[in-house]
Each structure stands twice: as C-alpha cells, then as structure tokens.
Amino acid sequence: MSCESDLTQELRELGFRVTPQRRVILHILLHANGHLTPSEVFALAQESLPGLMETTVYRTLEFLVQTGLAQAAFGSNGKRAYEISDEHHHHLICRQCGKEIEIPHVQLDSLYASLEASTQFKLVHNHITFLGLCAECQ
Amino acid sequence: MSCESDLTQELRELGFRVTPQRRVILHILLHANGHLTPSEVFALAQESLPGLMETTVYRTLEFLVQTGLAQAAFGSNGKRAYEISDEHHHHLICRQCGKEIEIPHVQLDSLYASLEASTQFKLVHNHITFLGLCAECQ
DNA sequence: ATCCTTATTGCAAAAACTTGCAATAAGGAT
DNA sequence: ATCCTTATTGCAAGTTTTTGCAATAAGGAT
C-alpha cells in the first residue's frame, strides 16, 4: 500500500486506468515540495521506470490537471510547473528578482464569487500567477 | 505618417530603437482584433518584410510586453497570444467549449489593492486567464 | 485464468519556443 | 554627410511541447 494509493483509487473511481506511469508520476509529485517542471518530473520518473517517454510525462501531467488531481502554474515566463496541493493557492512573483509569494485562495474568494455572479460561469480553481515588484525591487 | 507612429514615438522616448521589424509587428498588432499567436504574427509580418526571422517575432513580442506596449495572454493550454489593448482586461475561458469572456480590470481592483497591502508588492497589470464552465456547459 | 474492449503508452516527426554569437543598422555625436 | 557605439537582428543549433498512429496493457466480463 503505497502513499499515492488514495489518489490512484480516486482515478479508478473516475473511470480512468491506473498505470505504472501514472503511479510513478503521482508518487513524485506527492513527494516534491513545490512545483516541478515536466523535465524534472521526467528525470525523476525515469529512475524508477526506465522505459518511460517524455511525451507520456507531458500527457500525464496534463491529464492529472484535467482530473483535478494536480495543478499547473504558468510562471512569469510561461514555463510550466506542476504540483499536487491540498491547500489551493496562487503565486505572486517579483518580476525583478524572482521572489515568490504564496497567495492562499481565500483571498480570491470574493472575486470568484462576483465573477461567477456576473458571468454565469462556474469557475475552476486553477492556479493564477500575479506579477509585480517586491518591496526591495521597487 | 503611419498608424503605429505614436507607439514608435513612445519607444524612441523610452530609449529603444525603432526598426522596420518592430514597426511591422506593431502595425499588425494594432490592426488585429483580438489576440494573435507568434506564428500568426510571423506569417503576416513576413508578407511585408520577407527576410524576417521567426526568432525576431518572438523576441519583439516579448519586448513589447516588457515595455508595456503589448499584453501577453496565456490560454488555458498555455499557448501564448499577444495583443495591444488600451483597456486593460483579463479573460474567463470555458474549459468545455472554449467560449471566452472579457473581464475588465476594474473587477480586480480591490483584489489588487488588498494583495498590494498584504504583500508590499507593487502589482503589474499582467493578463490573467480564469478558467471555468459556462452556463451551457455546466 | 482467459478473452475483449478501448484507454494509454511508445515512438517518430513536427511544431513551438529559446539561446548564443557574429553581422547589421539605429540614432547620437562630429 | 560620415563615423561610432551598441541595441537589435539574422542565423544556426538546441530545448521544450504537441500530435498522430500503431502497439500495448488495464480492467471488466466470461
């Protein structure tokens, strides 16, 4: 009974298949603290699963986002990073020095509520990256 | 006196050089309604400037964002698109059908103010893409 | 345990994007 | 008008990400 078993369970219940590839990638994401880029995930995953293709990593990460098990963040540069997080949050990055601050989602709750009211959309809690200049760099 | 002259003027005042490449790309962005991807810009720009490299398009678009003359939007898929817009706004995209709604920045004003207060950052008005499900697709 | 269906993966090739460096050409100075 | 400085471009090579299709293997049914 490995540590990602509750997530694979969830996958199966949603009607998706649980493959070694998905298991390994989930495991990696669970043990990473913070974001990982697809190539970082690939490098780590290949250690446990030598035949793994980078393509599969890309597809799996995107798949996990679709199913809601992982979140994707697009950095200021548009580079991707993925993570699994129970506590939903966003980021504020300093454009000058790159310092990164975590913004808990509660701070956006009222915005989300008002957007949902005005647009009739049901918002998905996707990761948002705000950009700015930190106190020192201003 | 072409239509992008006020923008090239602004570039020069900021100390940057005005090149045929920048002029053409600005012209294209000004006449596009909505976003254009780098390759769309490239295809259009090459008609007026045959020797132009795609690299230059990428660099120029990013440059225009840095100087604040253009905005970049990262779609739900992470694909880039650029535009020039006087009225700053964001987007809400339906994950199912792709419908896109424009969110005027004023709706985020109070959020930005509270983020600036709590983090000491000075926020940059970068484009944000919200994701959700539209009324029909829910 | 075996078979069936079809979701997933591997593989290959393409598309999208980035980077380094030498050559070019803006724009200011003479 | 010409020269100088250096920002910007072209070019080539590299990295990252996407896509199509045939082969594989999960998971349900027998």
B106 touching A (Cβ < 8 Å): no
Confidence of residue A133 (pLDDT cuts 50, 70, 90): confident
- Above 70 in pLDDT, residue B4? yes
Taking a contact as any Cβ pair under 8 Å apart, which residues of chain B between 9 and 68 contact chain A?
none
- Helices A54-67 and A38-48 cross at an angle (nearest 10°) of 110
Strands (DSSP E) found in A6-121: 71-74, 80-83, 89-94, 100-104
- Above 70 in pLDDT, residue B76? no
A70 CA to centre of own chain: 4
Strands (DSSP E) found in chain A: 71-74, 80-83, 89-94, 100-104, 122-124, 129-133
Distance CA B39, CA A129 (A): 25
Averaged pLDDT of chain A? 90
Which pLDDT does position B33 carry in this prediction?
82
Residue that wins the pLDDT comparison between B138 and B56: B56
A95 touching B (Cβ < 8 Å): yes
Give me the total of CB pairs closer than 8 Å, taking one residue from chain A and one from chain B.
Answer: 87
A118 touching B (Cβ < 8 Å): yes
Report pLDDT digits (tens) over A76-126: 666 789 999 777 888 898 877 778 888 999 999 999 999 999 999 999 888
Q: Report the relative pairing of strands A89-94 and A129-133 from DSSP bridges.
A: parallel
Q: Where are the domains of chain A?
A: 5-83, 89-132
CATH number for A5-83: choose from 1.10.10.10, 1.20.1290.10, 1.10.443.10, 3.90.45.10.
1.10.10.10
Confidence of residue B77 (pLDDT cuts 50, 70, 90): low
CB A131 within 8 A of CB A76: yes
Task: Tell me the β-bridge partners of B130.
Answer: B92
Which stretch, A73-87, A91-105, B68-82, B100-114, has highest mean pLDDT? B100-114
Taking Cα atoms as reference points, which of A73, A50, A64, A69 lies closest to residue A129? A73
CATH number for B89-132: choose from 3.30.70.20, 3.30.1490.190, 3.90.650.10, 3.40.50.720.
3.30.1490.190
DSSP structure class, residue B137: T
Which pLDDT does position A77 carry in this prediction?
66
Q: With contacts defined as CB-CB under 8 Å, which chain B residues touch A128?
A: 128, 130
- Above 60 in pLDDT, residue A1? no
Q: What percent of chain B has pLDDT over 90?
A: 60
